[in-house]
Amino acid sequence: MINIAVDGPAGAGKSYLAKEIARRLGYIYVDTGALYRAVAYCVTEKGIDPSDSEAVIKLLPSVDVSLSYAEDGTQHVYLSGKDVSAEIRMPNISMAASVVSAIPEVRAFLLDLQRNMAKTNNVVMDGRDIGTVILPNADVKIFLCANEKARAKRRYLELTAKGVETTLEAVESEMFTRDKNDSTRKVAPAVAALDAVILDNSELDREGTVEAALAIIRSKIS
Ligand code: DC
């Protein structure tokens, strides 16, 4: 199986890039952030504070999270059989996902699901620790980044296009707090693997980013 890891901070365009590469190569796109978001959604639905590690850990055995794919390759995430793909995109869930993802037991809980996907499929997997922890032997590792202004603007446009009412300042502040959490946590911090290729797309549009990533992939696998 061919495994391609795409890691990087929020708003760098990982999901578009990974989805597009997967489509062009005929691989499966795995959005691992959706798994942490699903756990966070379950935690908040139960009225649990995401930073109450003990309560979150206690809840885990009853969390039934699964993935499935539509014909067009779109990933859907389920909680006990209910499709929660839209609900998990809300800004409060982004922050809650960042908080629960720092709990080692939550990461361990989601590990096998991610590794099994990669064992049985050619995948493009997007996340924070794919190249470092989940798939350390991935065939290709791309760490996608962009400057803070560019990332905040992209995320703002994405949210407002979905009808979410917010401001650029609010998105900036939420995003930077989350990135700081994600990159400085003790377990599996969001950092580039030593053998990852760093792709800074601050000055690239979406197609330019896809082309650059495909060139990296071609250089690694024939
Ligand atoms: O990619 P995303 O924004 O949907 O991810 C939501 C949160 O989940 C992110 O702030 C950190 C966490 N996450 C993680 O810790 N490891 C991953 N592989 C993917 C996401």
Q: DSSP for 207-221, please give it.
A: HHHHHHHHHHHHHH-
Tokens in use for 171? Answer: 């998105």
Would residue 219 count as lying in a domain? no
Residue 136 has pLDDT above 90, yes or no: yes
Would residue 217 count as lying in a domain? no
| Nearest one of 22, 33, 6 to 140, comparing CA atoms | 6
Domain span including residue 87:
3-212
- Cβ atoms of residues 30 and 114 within 8 Å: yes
Question: Across residues 148-173, what is the average pLDDT?
Answer: 92
Distance 138 CA to ligand 1 centre (A): 19
Q: Which pLDDT band, with edges at 50, 70 and 90, does 126 fall under?
A: very high
Residue 33 CB less than 6 A away from ligand 1: yes
Would residue 34 count as lying in a domain? yes
What domain count does the chain have? 1
Percent of the chain whose predicted confidence (pLDDT) is above 70? 100
How far apart (Å, rounded) are the C-alpha atoms in residues 106 and 125? 18
Tokens in use for 72? Answer: 């067009």
State pLDDT tens for residues 85-115.
999 998 899 999 999 999 999 999 999 999 9
Residue 222 has pLDDT above 80, yes or no: no
Residue 73 has pLDDT above 90, yes or no: no
Would residue 218 count as lying in a domain? no
Among 98, 113, 185, say which to mutate for ligand 1: greatest number of ligand atoms within 8 Å of CB. 98
Looking up residue 104, the CATH number of its domain turns out to be: 3.40.50.300
Would residue 221 count as lying in a domain? no
Would residue 37 count as lying in a domain? yes
User: Residue 16, Cα to own-chain centre: how many angstroms?
Assistant: 11
Would residue 222 count as lying in a domain? no
Distance 98 CA to ligand 1 centre (A): 6
